[in-house]
Amino acid sequence: MTIIIYGKTVCSICGKVIRPDQKAIGLPHLISNELDNLFIYNDGAYHHLCFEKVPENEILFSYLRDYEELTERLNAAISTGLINNPEEILSTGVLSSDPKNPLWAYNLKFYSKNTVQEKELLTLKKLLSEEKLKGTIRGRAIDWITERIDRFISV
Ligand SMILES: [Zn+2]
């Protein structure tokens, strides 16, 4: 999550300091795909008013809500002992904001090793490698997801 230090952190849109009396928003590392149009908003800090003027703000807000819901579910799974090792979690983030991309269906999902759905993960892995070849996805997060799928399935 982006840390906002009021009076110090600069808004990524207007370039001005976010003052303590201003409403602000910080985006986490939501977008996994470096080639997605929304990747530039990852880890950004913004004045609320500036962010509302961004054309993609509605979709970003909805991703943020889904992300927060997911984080809550994840924390619940950890606190109830359902998951006790961060290595057992696979979180996809936003793979594509284009509804026509087959990876769109896998946005903001999380899988745990205990309840692994092998078939679904194999499909995801296939799509990731296909889209990579097509040049629509790229990035460390994408590689991380692929590696984790391999690890979940091979054991
Ligand atoms: Zn601003």
- pLDDT per residue over 87-119, tens digit each? 888 999 999 999 999 999 999 998 888 776 889
Rounded to 10 degrees, the C-alpha dihedral 62/68/73/77 comes to 150
pTM assigned to the model: 0.88
pLDDT band (50, 70, 90) for residue 1:
low
What's the pLDDT at 155? 53
| Distance of CA 1 from the midpoint of ligand 1 (Å) | 18
What's the pLDDT at 129? 97
Residue 45: pLDDT over 90: yes
| Distance of CA 38 from the midpoint of ligand 1 (Å) | 18
Q: If we measure between CA atoms, which residue out of 47, 51, 64, 56 comes closest to residue 10?
A: 47
| Distance of CA 53 from the midpoint of ligand 1 (Å) | 10
CB within 8 A of 23, min separation 6: which ones?
A: 47, 48, 49
- pLDDT per residue over 67-88, tens digit each? 999 999 888 988 898 888 888 8
- In this predicted model, which residue has the larger pLDDT, 116 or 62? 62
Stretch 24-31: mean pLDDT, rounded? 93
| Distance of CA 14 from the midpoint of ligand 1 (Å) | 4
| Distance of CA 47 from the midpoint of ligand 1 (Å) | 4
| Distance of CA 24 from the midpoint of ligand 1 (Å) | 9
Backbone dihedral region for residue 7 (phi beyond 0: left; psi -120 to 50: alpha; all else: beta): left
> How much is the mean pLDDT over the chain?
92
Q: If we measure between CA atoms, which residue out of 113, 107, 73 comes closest to residue 90?
A: 113
Query: Cβ(111)–Cβ(121) under 8 Å?
Result: yes
| Distance of CA 22 from the midpoint of ligand 1 (Å) | 10
